[in-house]
């Protein structure tokens, strides 16, 4: 297998998923094992960094072993090790990074550090075998909301970013105040399907005219104020209506800005990525907007939207193809810029 196919081992541990994946020729996923810690953090209503690190440490070797055996290979078949080195929780990142570095050293294999957000974008190369840059990427996750001009496999220019909360973070916080639980994104998505999205008119925050930046902290406060006002008035709150109205307000802004960016950059391909890319309304609204404008829309299947090591392996492959390689001084950067 090794002679004919280039094998990448990807490792991801930036937040609460410990993941390892094996890829053939960068895009062909032979295994993608994800150990989720959702249940561990659920009782706290969010990710507890120290607990996340400890669980990564407990899980990482088993996850890597499972990824190798599921792919039907052994360590000697691996040609490249790719690992997330930022952004993320520093303690969590360090577990994946230390593991990847020691494996690369012991096996004498090349090591490539991957930016987590670039990994999210690369999930689309796995899903859509013909997809090639240039395109406009919309990355919406628990930690980020970015509009990125992707001019080549390793060239990314950020056109817009959130100035406060990320979209996923806003979903998680609003879900908490609505009593829906954690992680909030999928729960709001579900609740919204049963609600009236025009029941409450939450303010859409577009910032300055022509700005491609986002701000979601205002709408989060808007939901809180609405709930408090209703309670003070003794009026009942419909969780489903509030969830649907909040979701529509967020997605209207995201879709409008993505389309504005594509038009401005003269891009006819929009690539959606990140955990919130699994949102059913976002997919529907963006598809409709792209159809109206004659743009092509790409997004990964839900398992590749969430944090996973296959996307990291794919990004590492393209960096390595371009001659990029890291040494054992590679460190974890919690606020790594794109
Ligand atoms: O990309 P990701 O797995 O982790 C980060 O890199 O942040 O994204 C996790 C985020 C969480 O905030 C979660 O609530 C959100 O993605 N999410 C969703 C949906 N599924 C996950 N948000 C809205 N709708 C969904 N269906
Ligand atoms: Zn992520």
Domain extent for 153: 133-300
Confidence band of 141 (pLDDT split at 50, 70, 90): very high
Asked if residue 329 belongs to a domain, the reply is no
CB 274 within 8 A of CB 305: yes
Asked if residue 332 belongs to a domain, the reply is no
Residues 66, 178, single domain; the answer is: no
Residues 116, 152, single domain; the answer is: no
Q: What element of type H or E holds 70?
A: helix 49-71
CB 148 within 8 A of CB 118: no
pLDDT in tens, 307-327: 999 999 999 999 999 999 999
Q: Report the CATH number at residue 41.
A: 3.30.420.40
Residues 289, 149, single domain; the answer is: yes
CB 335 within 8 A of CB 85: no
Residues 174, 271, single domain; the answer is: yes
Rg (CA), the chain: 20
What per-residue confidence (pLDDT) applies to 45? 85
What per-residue confidence (pLDDT) applies to 176? 94
From ligand 2's centre to the CA of 141, what distance in Å?
A: 6
Q: For the purposes of burial, counting CB atoms within 10 Å of the CB of 217, is it exposed (0-12), middle (13-18) or buried (19 or more)?
A: middle
Residues 217, 317, single domain; the answer is: no
Q: Please name every residue paired with 131 in a beta bridge, in sequence order, or none if there are none.
A: none
Maximum Cα interatomic distance, the chain, rounded to a whole number of Å: 72
Mean pLDDT score, 70-95: 97
Mean pLDDT score, 285-305: 97
Q: Is the pLDDT of residue 135 over 70?
A: yes
Residues 148, 98, single domain; the answer is: no
Residues 254, 229, single domain; the answer is: yes
Which comes out higher in pLDDT, residue 8 or 42?
8
Asked if residue 170 belongs to a domain, the reply is yes
Mean pLDDT score, 300-305: 94
Asked if residue 139 belongs to a domain, the reply is yes
Q: Is the pLDDT of residue 77 over 70?
A: yes
Asked if residue 49 belongs to a domain, the reply is yes
Helix axes of 217-232 and 239-264: crossing angle, nearest 10 degrees: 160
Ligand 1, residues at Cβ distance < 6 Å: 15, 141-143, 168, 171-172, 183-186, 189, 274-276, 278-279, 306-307
Asked if residue 292 belongs to a domain, the reply is yes
Residues 172, 118, single domain; the answer is: no
* Residue 69: count of CB within 10 angstroms of its CB: 13
Q: Which atom of ligand 1 is nearest to the CA of 88?
A: 6
Residues 139, 51, single domain; the answer is: no
Number of domains in the chain: 2
* C-alpha–C-alpha distance, residues 332 and 45, integer Å: 26
Nearest to 90 by CA among 121, 116, 63: 116
Confidence band of 2 (pLDDT split at 50, 70, 90): very low
Which bound ligand lies closest to the C-alpha atom of 274?
1
Q: Is the pLDDT of residue 4 over 70?
A: no
pLDDT in tens, 229-287: 999 999 999 999 999 999 999 999 999 999 999 999 999 999 999 999 999 999 999 99
From ligand 1's centre to the CA of 227, what distance in Å?
A: 23
Residues 64, 172, single domain; the answer is: no
Look up residue 316 and give its two tokens.
Answer: 């590492």
pLDDT in tens, 90-107: 999 999 999 999 999 999
Name the residue at shortest CA distance from atom 1 of ligand 1.
Answer: 275
Q: Please name every residue paired with 21 in a beta bridge, in sequence order, or none if there are none.
A: 10, 32
Query: Quick check: helix, strand or coil at residue 91?
Result: helix
Asked if residue 111 belongs to a domain, the reply is yes
From ligand 1's centre to the CA of 10, what distance in Å?
A: 21
pLDDT in tens, 151-208: 999 999 999 999 999 999 999 999 999 999 988 999 999 999 999 999 999 999 999 9
Q: Is the pLDDT of residue 1 over 60?
A: no
Residues 263, 145, single domain; the answer is: yes
Asked if residue 312 belongs to a domain, the reply is yes
pLDDT, mean over the chain: 96
Residues 162, 236, single domain; the answer is: yes
Question: Which of 46, 47, 141, 246 has most ligand 1 atoms within 8 Å of its beta carbon, as the pocket-test mutant?
Answer: 141
């Amino acid at each position: 297998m090794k002679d004919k196919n280039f094998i990448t081992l990807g490792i991801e541990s930036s937040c609460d998923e410990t993941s390892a994946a094996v890829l053939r020729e960068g895009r062909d996923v032979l295994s993608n094992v994800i150990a989720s810690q959702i249940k561990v953090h659920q009782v706290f209503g969010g990710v507890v960094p120290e607990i996340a690190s400890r669980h990564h440490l407990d899980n990482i070797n088993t996850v890597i072993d499972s990824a190798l055996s599921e792919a039907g290979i052994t360590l000697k078949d691996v040609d490249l090790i790719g690992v997330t080195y930022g952004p993320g929780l520093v303690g969590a990142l360090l577990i994946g990074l230390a593991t990847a570095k020691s494996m690369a050293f012991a096996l004498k294999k090349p090591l490539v550090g991957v930016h987590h957000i670039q990994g999210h974008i690369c999930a689309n190369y796995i899903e859509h075998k013909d997809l090639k840059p240039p395109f406009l990427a919309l990355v919406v996750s628990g930690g980020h909301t970015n509009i990125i001009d992707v001019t080549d496999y390793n060239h990314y220019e950020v056109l817009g970013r959130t100035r406060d909360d990320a979209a996923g973070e806003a979903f998680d916080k609003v879900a908490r105040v609505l009593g829906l639980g954690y992680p909030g994104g999928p729960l709001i998505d579900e609740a919204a399907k049963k609600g009236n999205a025009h029941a409450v008119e939450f303010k859409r925050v577009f910032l300055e005219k022509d700005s491609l930046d986002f701000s979601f902290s205002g709408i989060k406060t808007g939901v809180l104020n609405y709930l408090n006002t209703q309670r003070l008035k003794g009026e009942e709150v419909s969780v489903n209506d509030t969830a649907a109205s909040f979701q529509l307000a967020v997605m209207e802004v995201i879709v409008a800005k993505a389309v504005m960016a594509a038009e401005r950059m003269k891009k006819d391909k929009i690539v959606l990525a990140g955990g919130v890319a699994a949102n059913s309304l976002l997919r529907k609204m963006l598809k409709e907007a792209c159809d109206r404008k004659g743009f092509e829309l790409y997004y990964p299947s839900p398992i590749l939207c969430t944090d996973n090591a296959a996307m990291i392996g794919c990004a590492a492959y393209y960096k390595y193809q371009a001659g990029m390689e890291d040494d054992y001084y590679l460190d974890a950067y919690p606020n790594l810029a794109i």
